Chain A
Amino acid sequence: MEIPYTVTARSDTGLWNAKIGIWLFLASEVMLFGGLFSSYIFLRLGADYPWPNGELNVPLGFVNTVILILSSVFVVMAWASLKMRQYGSYLKWMTAVVLCALVFLVNKGFEYYAKFEHKTVVLKDRSVLAGHIPRGESAEIRFRAKYATVDFATGNHRFLRFIDNDARFFSEKGEVKMGRAWFQRHRKASQLQARADYLGGEASRLEGEAEAAHGTAAEDLRKHAEALRRESRALAAEVKESYPDLEDFAGSSSMRFELRPEAEISVPRKEVTAWGDNELTFRDATLLEGLLESAVVKLEVDEIDLREYFSRSEHGGAERDAAGAGIFRHLPMGVREAFVHHREAGQAEFEAKRAAWERKNPEKAFPEPAYPAYDKVYLDALHFEGGGSSKEEEKHGVGGGADAGEPGGEHHHPVVTIPYEDIRFFSSYTPKKNTYYAIYFTLTGLHALHVLGGALVLSFFLFFGKSLYRKNPEHLANRVEVGGLFWHFVDLVWIFLFPILYLM
């Protein structure tokens, strides 16, 4: 018996199999994106920071919306051409669909790239700077290591990723081939040693009991203790024999090595839990001793955001003075004055608006914004004196003095150097930045994967549809219909994504 209703519809349900299948699949897709949209609402309502607004490239997003809607029309045209048995016209329309998908993905790639390059720094007082890292600079912590103390209780060899392969580790007994294999051998030796110690202890305990016992009972205990002792000695001998280099420190909880030559280490902030002038602790609990060379972020600043600085109650709330924000220590002369001026103007404008609103609605309370917009400013919009080296900057040893001499409008994007000890949080405009970018990348990334998947399936129909068309044109039309339904769904998801991520 063959499987029925693969091409023609069943009379009582009026459907062929794949059509039911795709609608069911789309139902589960609705639940998938529904889960993400629900998460978006959940995260947005629960956000304890100003939810980003208008930070995405709206024109590009709009172009992508138009492209997807057009491609949805094209796929219908392709399907209709097949229904009318016009294969040539089908090919044209389907090519247009696939091209639309490609253009969409390329645009998306540009958008993502711009976000990956953009960085943000949150200082300890929650004032925020955004900008780009100047060419040739890096935001990693640099350290010159002389000693490494490895913690076996919680640690492992993750830190080796950041240490030069040339570096050699020396213990008191000589050189150690540090690596995954060494850690495994050490663990094995420690286990054997611990087992040997345990058995030895048990044997001593039994011998003690035998002292107190009499007759055959005492003899049995002694025999048992003897056997344990033998096993313990055998294990200890095994450690000695198989792990001669580890004999002395099998079981010790940490070990200090000397690094020869001294290792130059460059490590991202997230891999490090603590650092000082002469110490650096990795996430795997390894402690390096040596000299901290650099722990700073250099940034070509294009944005100042003090909204959280003003709203956080631990800093005194909105009464706090703009001039007190830590970022002005790092920015060139004049920016502070310009910002304060800008803010006062914005505040005045806002107060006027509030007064007008209250005159209009005397009974109601004015809806106070949690984060007034005037606390954030793009440096392009701020007029301040050029970022030449000022006395204040020299005093702090920071600032964009070196880059300030560049011609053109560069003074709007001063380069500042911020030490990590002032930084609360550093990130690109990636999922790490905040939950908005997390959900943005997850939603659009998953959507882009759907576009890619749909484009692959439709390309398959485009390039390999001919033989099926010759055999049974209706079958190919059905397949394109199913693919088209999926394509419409992908389009529809974007139509929801565009407003909630770009506009709202």
Chain B
Amino acid sequence: MATSATVRHGAGHGDAGAHSDHGHEIPFWKKYVFSTDHKVIGIQYGFTALVFLAIGFYLMLVMRWSIARPGEALPEFLAAFLGDRWLNPDGSVTPDLYNMFGAMHGTIMVFLGIVPLAFGAFGNYVTPLQIGAPDMAFPRVNMASYWFYLAGGVLMFSSFFLESGAAQVGWTNYSPLATMAHTEYPSIFWTGQTQWLLAMVFLISSSLLGAVNFITTIINLRARGMTWMRLPFFVWAQLVTAFLLLLAFPPLEVAAIMQLMDRMAGSSFFVPTGTFLKTEMLDVSGGGSPLLYQHLFWFLGHPEVYVLLLPGIGIIAEVVANNTRKPIWGYRAMVYAILVLGFLSFIVWAHHMYLTGMGWFVSAFFQTTTVLISIPSVILLTCLMISLWGGSIRFTVPMLWATAFLPMFGFGGLTGLPLAFNLTDLHLHDTYYVIGHFHYVVAPGSMFALFAGIYYWFPNWTGRQMNAFLGHLHFWPSLVAMNLIFLPMFHQGMAGFHRRWYDGGKFFEGTSERVFLEAGSWMSNLFNGGAAVTLRDLNHVMTFGAFVLAVGQIPFVLNLFGSIMWGRKIKDDNPWQATTLEWCTPTPPPHGNFASEPVVYRDPYEYSVPGAKNDFSPQWLPDEEAIGMAGAAAAAERPSGALA
């Protein structure tokens, strides 16, 4: 058994673990709270991000209730968290509350949920292990990065409790609306709109420190033999993500600082001449440009989309290779594709701004680059799809999420094409179609990948497996519910449903009451007792889906916490029989990770090497040990990375 070799190896590390023997000297708060260990910081990031994801999810439930049942009282279990302040006397959601939750749902999910989970948690935990490094290059900077994130998150969240409430003008915070919002309050500084900007400055600083740390670590701390083309694809994805954060976030910081100046110092960066608020002419000089804000925002905003996505694709590559028991098809193509993708993502931002009237030439340029960027995206997805071909697939829980990710992400990508084109985007801009499109990329896309990652790396963290039955109970309702929520959005969006209707279209009957399923058609017979189904009725389907999704996460929470305590213990440090370096450490890995510097002998995904004694040949084993003497000779003749 090859596993015996792994065990021997792993045990050897455990005995000689230089750090584990003086582990008891480190006090609890230093080991788990103000820790400089990349794994602990990763876990801190992970749990904080999960809390924020839950908060963002709650905001979404309240909004979906208001959309499906405008004017009806919120159910007790949702209203319990809200004071009377933001509800109508009849207990229904006020437009202000809807706007606030809409803005904060986007902000929290993107900046406090997915990015910290994908980049902060998985990146921190896995990247140093996969490249054979003892820790990040700058452990204390890493800790600072987490605490900046937490400070920004707490600041952002506590703005809900201010007199003004939290920010209300959408997650994009467009000026001049964002400049003028909340300026009537006693202290402009202590309003949600200003605190949003301050919190963003903290979050941006956090990402910046993280990005510097990741890139330095990947460049300089790779183990001996870990050449660039031997990096697991996950590490490539993290590297490109780090570059995106490093270079795309500063312009948003600029925008935040300038908007802060506009609000606090009375400047007019984003306020054009002659701006009125209600009937009052603003006491500002004018001369500024709202378009400038949009440019600065989307210069971050678009790379940010890939920050949400790329770590997910990295996780999927690991899971797919491990569970198909064959190398990733087209590893090099994927590496080049992700680099090109990273570069192109910097020059597509203005496709969010076709409706601003910035001119046909600019629009044509960004339309072209946007269509170009679909090429590397399709290469990534195609390689992962083809990787499935001919594999002896193990449908483990992580693999379920990964296989669902591929079509779901594909759906999100393909529905983006009509948005890339100027002409069709004019029709679809700011409708539910856009919401459907990017949620397919991020919710059943990125989130599914992150779930795959949690199930996949959980044994490395705890030494226990997560429960497979609960995993299935988590996966199937989530898959169905996600599609129930987001698929109808395309229909509504193409009919012209605007994304910011707090009443789900009740006041826009001309659009929203159009018939979706004819009365008496077989579909309406099946679902609605033969009565016609209008487009607005789809809101009920989507809201139902949202509540199913909420219930579907309960098994996950039980599984996550239950498995830490009672999960099945793994017998082997490499339970998935994987090839990458994170599985050669003792479980869980001690501070410092490796007893001695590991040496890398081969490409990352050497599964099912012909002639080898096992169907996986780990990176850290020399040919004699991994393949056997006969196999080693064969391997010497075989071109690197190819499946003979």
Question: Chain A: residues with CB nearer than 8 A to chain B?
Answer: 1-5, 10, 13, 15-18, 20-21, 24-25, 27-29, 31-32, 34-36, 39, 42-43, 46-49, 154-158, 160-161, 180, 187-188, 191-192, 194-195, 197-198, 202, 269-270, 273-274, 283-285, 425, 427, 430-435, 437-439, 441-442, 446
Contact = CB atoms under 8 A, between A and B. Distances in A.
A188 B251 CA distance: 42
A435 B285 contact: yes
Contact of A1 (B163, B257, B292, B593): B593
A17 B285 contact: no
Given A17-B220, A24-B246, A156-B184, A435 B163 contact: no
Nearest to B227: A12
Contacts of B296: 35, 39
B220 A13 contact: yes
Contacts of A197: 89
Interface in B82-108: 84-85, 89-90
B208 A438 contact: no
- 4 closest A-B pairs by beta carbon, nearest first, are A438-B267, A35-B254, A431-B267, A1-B134
Interface in B117-153: 133-135, 137-139, 141
Query: Interface of chain B, helix or strand or loop or mixed?
Result: loop
B446 to A, nearest CB: 24
Contact of B216 (A1, A21, A29, A31): A21
26 contacts: A16-B220, A17-B137, A21-B216, A28-B249, A31-B249, A32-B254, A35-B253, A35-B296, A43-B269, A43-B289, A46-B287, A48-B287, A158-B186, A160-B186, A191-B84, A197-B89, A202-B90, A273-B280, A425-B284, A431-B261, A432-B284, A432-B285, A433-B285, A435-B287, A438-B258, A438-B269
Interface in B167-193: 183-187
A119 to B, nearest CB: 13
Contact of A24 (B163, B212, B255, B286): B212
Contact of A17 (B187, B216, B246, B265): B216
A194 B620 CA distance: 71
Contacts of A47: 287
A16 to B, nearest CB: 8
A163 B221 CA distance: 63
A449 B288 CA distance: 24
B184 A285 contact: yes
For A27, A39, A160, A195, the residue with the greatest tally of chain B CB atoms inside 10 Å of its CB is A39
B269 A31 contact: no
Given A21-B216, A46-B289, A156-B163, A191 B85 contact: yes
B14 to A, nearest CB: 14
A42 B293 CA distance: 11
Contacts of A35: 250-251, 253-255, 296, 299
Contact of B266 (A20, A270, A439): A270
Interface stretch (B25-33, B431-439, B594-602): B594-602
Nearest to A154: B184
Nearest to A1: B134
A32 B283 contact: no
Contact of A43 (B211, B221, B246, B288): B288
Contacts of A2: 134, 592
A15 B220 contact: yes
Contacts, number: 185
B85 A21 contact: no
A111 B282 CA distance: 28
B462 to A, nearest CB: 22
B89 A191 contact: yes
Nearest to B135: A3
Contact of B250 (A28, A284, A285): A28
A35 B255 CA distance: 8
Contact of A21 (B137, B249, B287, B597): B137
Nearest to A45: B289
B219 interface: yes
Given A20-B216, A42-B289, A431-B261, A1 B269 contact: no
B211 A24 contact: yes
B240 to A, nearest CB: 14
A396 B546 CA distance: 70
Contact of B292 (A20, A32, A39, A274): A39
Contacts of A156: 163, 184-186
A432 B265 contact: yes
B247 interface: yes
Contacts of A437: 267
A28 B247 contact: yes
B208 A28 contact: yes
Given A17-B138, A191-B84, A269 B219 contact: no
Contacts of B255: 35
Nearest to B289: A46
A188 B84 CA distance: 8
Contact of A442 (B248, B257, B280, B592): B257
A433 B269 CA distance: 11
Contacts of A10: 220
A141 to B, nearest CB: 12
A43 B251 contact: no
Given A21-B138, A434-B268, A425 B285 contact: yes
A390 B269 CA distance: 43
